[in-house]
Amino acid sequence: MGQEEKQSYLFPLFSKFPIKLVKGQGSRLWDDTGKEYIDLMCGLAVTNLGHVHPKVKAKLVAQLDELWHGCNLFYLPHQERLAQLLVENSCMDAAFFCSTGAEANEAAIKIARRYAQKVQGTDRYEIITFKQSFHGRTLATLTATGQAKVQEGFLPLPEGFVYADYNDIESVRTLLSDRTCAVMVEMIQGEGGVIPADLTFVQQLAQLCEEQDILLIVDEIQTGMGRTGKLFAYEHYGIEPDVITLAKGLGSGFPIGAMLGKAKLIPAYTAGVHGTTFGGVPTAMAAGVATMETMLEENLVERGAEIGEYMLAKLTEKLAGNPLVSTVRGKGLLLGIVCNEPVADIISEVHARGVLVVPAGPNVIRVVPAMTIPQEDLDQGLDILCEVFAEKAAALAVDVK
C-alpha cells in the first residue's frame, strides 16, 4: 500500500465515529470542519468538569513552568496534597497513584493477594468478580472482566478469577472457597450496559466480605469523582469498601489513576513491592488537585446530583411509550437508554444533529454529561436525542403498516 493510500498509522483497535474532534470548551466540542457539538459523553466519563476547565488549566500551566517529572523516590508536594484530598473525602487511609484505570485495578488485585499472603498469612489468591463487568485491558484486568469477548484471543489467561452473577448474593456465596482473597465489583456496570447494583445486594456483599475476612474492592474508575451524584458511588450504599480504584474523572482529561485503601493494607504495600514510573508525576497531580479542589469548592457533586435527577425524569417522560426503548436506568450523570434493538443508527443520527453520545454495548446509549453543563445545553441535547427516537419510532410504525 502506498503512503498516499494509507488511512492511518494506528492499529485499528477502535471503531471510530467519522468525526475529527479538534477543540473543546465547557460542554461543547468542535470538529475539523468547524461543526459544533453538545457533549453528552465526556470522553467516557472523563471530563466531569467540562473541557479545558479554567482552574484546572491554570494549575497545569503553572506546573508546566515548574516541574514535569520528579521520580517517586522523592517527595512531590502535589502528590501528597491529592492523596490528602482523596483520603479526607472518602473512607480510605492511603493512596497509590498511577496513570490509568487498568493500572489502578492491577494495583488493587496485587494488594489483595499480597495482603492475604503476607499480612494474613494465608495462601489465598482468588478474586470473585462479576459477569458483564469491565476492569481493564491488561492481562490481569481483562481476566477480571467478566466478558468473554474482551478475553478472546489472549489465552492462556492468568488464573485466580471466578465470575458471579451481578446482583445475586447467592451466586457469590457458591463461589467462596479457601482460595478467595477478595471480591471486586462495580457499583454501576458501565460497559456492561449501565446496570446499577441493588442496595440490598451491595450491603449483603459487604457483610459477607467482613464475615469471611476477605477484601471488598469497588471499581470506581467510571463511577467515581461525582459521576453518580456522590463523590464516590459506594456512598449511595452505606458501606465502606477496603479498596477503591479511580481514574477517568480524576484528572479532567489528564492521564491519572489511583488506588485507595484502608490502613490495614499499608503493611502489604511497602517499599519495593509495587511501583510506577509515570504514576504521580507533578503534572498529573496538579490536574488531580485542581479537579478535586474545584469539585469541593463549587459544590459540583451536589449540582451533578440535581442535574442527574432532572435528566432521568426528562428522559423517562419523553421516551415513555416509545417502542424502541425498554427503560432508562443509572444514577446521577451516568444514564443508559436501554433499547430493544441495536443503537448504532440512532447514535449516528444524533451525532449528525450536533449531539455526541456513545454506546454501552450494542443496545444501550450512554448519556454522560459534565457536572458543569449549562441547563440550555442539557435541554437542547436531550431534546435532540428524544426527537431522533420519536422519528425512528414513527418511521418504524410506517414500515410495519
Question: What is the arrangement of strands in the sheet containing 334-339, beginning at the earlier edge strand?
Answer: 325-331, 334-339, 364-367, 358-359
Question: How many angstroms separate the CA atoms of 285 and 334, rounded?
Answer: 25
Half-sphere CA count of 352, side-chain side, radius 13 A: 8
253 domain-assigned:
yes
Total domain count for the chain?
Answer: 2
Q: Is there a single domain that holds both residue 135 and residue 31?
A: no
Cis-peptide, bond into residue 156, ω within 30° of zero: yes
Backbone Cα Rg of the chain: 22
DSSP class of residue 9? S
Q: Which of 245, 276, 297 is the endpoint of a domain? A: 297
| Cβ-based neighbour number of residue 69 at 10 Å | 10
Residue 6 lies in a domain: no
Residue 8 lies in a domain: no
Q: Which three cell numbers stand for residue 293?
A: 479542589
H or E stretch at 261: strand 257-261
Task: Note down pLDDT in tens along the chain; length 401 residues.
Answer: 344 556 789 999 999 999 999 999 999 999 999 999 999 999 999 999 999 999 999 999 999 999 999 899 999 999 999 999 999 999 999 999 999 999 999 999 999 999 999 999 999 999 999 999 999 999 999 999 999 999 999 999 999 999 999 999 999 999 999 999 999 999 999 999 999 999 999 999 999 999 999 999 999 999 999 999 999 999 999 999 999 999 999 999 999 999 999 999 999 999 999 999 999 999 999 999 999 999 999 999 999 999 999 999 999 999 999 999 999 999 999 999 999 999 999 999 999 999 999 999 999 999 999 999 999 999 999 999 999 999 999 998 766 44
pTM: 0.96
Distances (CA, A) of 161 to 125, 166, 180, 204: 9, 15, 9, 21
**Cβ of 399: how many Cβ atoms within 10 Å?**
7
Does residue 282 share a domain with residue 327?
A: no
Residue 14 belongs to some domain of the structure: no
Q: 268, 297, 326 — which closes off a domain?
A: 297
Domain limits at 319?
A: 21-52+299-400
> Residue 1 has which C-alpha cell?
500500500
Q: Cell 454529561, residue?
A: 369
pLDDT confidence of residue 354: 98
Residues 120 and 46 in one domain: no
Q: Which of 63, 86, 100, 94 is nearest to 282 (CA)?
A: 63
- Last residue within a domain, chosen from 242, 270, 297: 297
Pair (230, 307) in one structural domain: no
Quick one: which of 149, 214, 154 has its CA closest to 183? 214
State whether 337 and 270 are in the same domain: no
- In a domain, residue 2? The reply is no
Q: Which three cell numbers stand for residue 208?
A: 459477607
- Reported as type and span, the H/E element at residue 23 is strand 21-25
Task: Looking at the structure, tell me whether residues 234 and 205 fall in a common domain.
Answer: yes
Which neighbouring-strand residues pair with 131? 146
Whether 9 is covered by a domain: the verdict is no
DSSP 8-state symbol, 198:
P
Length of the chain: 401
CATH number at residue 197: 3.40.640.10
Q: Is residue 179 part of a domain?
A: yes
Same domain, 266 and 380: no
All residues at 6 or more sequence positions from 349 whose CB lies less than 8 Å from its CB, including other chains = 388, 392
DSSP for 92-158, please give it.
--EEEEESSHHHHHHHHHHHHHHIIIIIS-----EEEEEBT----SSHHHHHHSB-HHHHTT-PSPP
Same domain, 92 and 223: yes
Q: What is the structure's pLDDT at 1?
A: 39
For residue 38, tell me if it sits in a domain.
yes
Residues 6 or more apart whose Cβ sits within 8 Å of residue 360: 190, 191, 192, 193, 194, 336, 366
Q: How far is it, in rounded angstroms, from Cα 221 to Cα 228? A: 12
* Same-domain pairing of 74 and 210: yes
25 and 174 together in one domain: no
Residues 101 and 187 in one domain: yes
**CATH number, domain containing residue 360:** 3.90.1150.10
**DSSP E strand stretches across 202-333:** 215-219, 243-246, 257-261, 325-331
Q: Which helix (H) or strand (E) holds 327?
A: strand 325-331
42 shares its domain with 190: no
Amino acid at 11: F
